[in-house]
Amino acid sequence: MKLFEKTLNILQSGVMILDDELNIVFINLWLQKAFAYVDAQPGENLLSLCPELKGRRIEASLRQALDSGLPAVLSPVLNRSPLPLYHNGQSQAEPFAQMIRVQPMREEEQNYCMLEVQDVSSVIRRERLLNEQADKLNQMALTDELTGIANRRHFNSLLEKAVASTIDSSQSLSLIFFDIDYFKPYNDHLGHQAGDHCLARITQHLNDILKGEGYHLARYGGEEFCIILPGVSPAQATVLAENYRQNVERLAIRHPASSVAKVVTASFGVSGFNAGKSDTFTGLVLKADNALYRAKMSGRNQVIQACLDE
């Protein structure tokens, strides 16, 4: 028996044996030290030591084991810290996360139950870190590296959801495509680093505006970008696009190779989704892209709205 107790006392987990009145029959050293503000000794009653356990899931599990002989497991997902246990027995902000197993026992016509406690804090921290890393990787997969806004893959997902929501609600949906005017000559004259800085500055400025309005900005490719506007009609979107065009121009980013202005400008194309009129995701994108093409062919630095019957 002494060897058995020695074995239990060197375990890096807790073991407690309770009788049918929830009196402590045995408790190993690890668990004894983990109780921060109670002296858990053999002969003490667990509920007297920790009255906060009364009526809780852990008491019900102990009663179930003693009265019905049924084991139980209290996972940290639903029962994070059933017992007031702390690392090194020092009371901190909250008890450490625990995995608890309750096992019924019977000896000499007497019912007992064994409480096994494992500290799973490190496991939970590792899972949290892995989840954070996974979230970060997912975010990176959906984010344009240069500008920090949604990339084309994310744009497709956002637009698909917006189209589905529009079909369900029969509300408006508009899409804006815009392109930086004469961006290749800009790069040729000032270098790609300046070009990257130009794109980042414009998208950051517009994204700050759009986030406040609840709209989504994404990089479609190269110097071409798109804005998804749920609940906005094409006429309203055209007004907004003109505002965004002016915002780009007001940034006053010097453009020594532009044929339309001394500063960087942008051309905009606007289209709308006609729910219930056999319009499609692809059709919405093509209409916006065609409208952008007409804006560029018509002199750039302007907004063109796609015809309703396109």
132 carries an active-site annotation = no
Alpha helix locations (H) across the chain? 2-9, 29-34, 46-49, 57-68, 121-141, 152-169, 183-190, 192-213, 234-250, 281-297
Sheet holding 266-272, edge to edge: 216-221, 224-230, 173-180, 266-272, 303-305
Distance CA 34, CA 125 (A): 19
Could you say which of 52, 116, 223, 224 is catalytic? 223
Burial of 12 (0-12, 13-18, 19+ CB in 10 A): exposed
- The answer to whether the beta carbons of residues 273 and 282 sit under 8 Å apart is no
Residue in 17, 77, 65, 62 with CA at minimum distance from that of residue 44? 17
Rounded Cα distance, 35 and 83, in Å:
8
Catalytic residues, by residue number, are 223
